[in-house]
């Protein structure tokens, strides 16, 4: 018989043992240490004179607060109406008029975050272009900037 070939065992790597923490050393009662040897005294230097703090500059008078511009209508402006809705994709403000307004007049739209002037170029009532509208009408007004609901519309003289 032919000698049977021996199968060798698969070699397995030996796993490393996890690192152990060194045991905490117990503190033994403190031993009295020998007193350190004293060095020979060196000659003393004269202490540097203390610096005096720099004098404070005189307090500057506070500037007067700048007055914010007056909120609301300016002299000569007439309240025309109020923005009831704004269509951002069209840049059109729906305005409920209180007095008459015509194409070509200059208006000021004023609100909490908006304040701009523009000339009335396009005005519509029920999708029909009009040249003039009277108080009580709800109009669509093409605007140059973003208007918000409850912004007030004023007619500017001139």
Contacts of 72 (CB under 8 A, 6+ apart): 110
pLDDT in tens, the chain (158 residues): 556 666 666 666 667 777 776 666 666 666 666 666 666 666 677 777 788 888 888 888 888 887 776 788 889 999 999 999 999 999 999 999 999 999 999 999 999 999 999 999 999 999 999 999 999 999 999 999 999 999 999 999 97
First to last CA, the chain: 125
**CA separation for the pair 99, 131 (Å, rounded):** 14
If you write DSSP's letter for every residue of 70-134 in order, what string do you get?
PPSPPTT-EEEEEEEEEETTTTEEEEEESS-EETT-EEEEE-SS-EEEEE---EEETTEE-SEE-
Give the right CATH number for 78-155 from 2.40.128.130, 3.50.50.60, 3.40.50.10610, 2.40.30.10.
Answer: 2.40.30.10
Report the pLDDT value the prediction gives residue 93, as an integer from 0 to 100.
97
Report the pLDDT value the prediction gives residue 31, as an integer from 0 to 100.
62
Report the pLDDT value the prediction gives residue 43, as an integer from 0 to 100.
67
- Cβ(120)–Cβ(153) under 8 Å? no
Report the pLDDT value the prediction gives residue 8, as an integer from 0 to 100.
61
Delimit the domains of the chain by residue range. Answer: 78-155
Q: What is the pLDDT of residues 18-33, one digit of tens each?
A: 777 666 666 666 666 6
């Amino acid at each position: 018989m032919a000698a049977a070939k021996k199968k060798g065992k698969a070699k397995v790597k030996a796993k490393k043992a996890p690192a152990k923490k060194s045991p905490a050393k117990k503190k033994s009662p403190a031993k009295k240490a020998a007193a350190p040897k004293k060095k020979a005294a060196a000659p003393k230097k004269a202490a540097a004179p203390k610096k005096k703090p720099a004098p404070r500059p005189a307090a500057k008078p506070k500037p007067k607060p700048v007055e914010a511009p007056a909120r609301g209508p300016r002299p000569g402006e007439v309240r025309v109406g109020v923005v009831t809705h704004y269509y951002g994709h069209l840049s059109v403000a729906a305005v409920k008029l209180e007095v008459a307004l015509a194409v070509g007049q200059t208006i000021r739209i004023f609100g909490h975050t908006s304040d701009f002037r523009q000339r009335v170029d396009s005005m519509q009532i029920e999708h029909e272009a009009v040249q003039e509208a009277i108080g009580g009408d709800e109009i669509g007004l093409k605007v140059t900037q973003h208007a918000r609901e409850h912004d007030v519309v004023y007619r500017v003289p001139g």
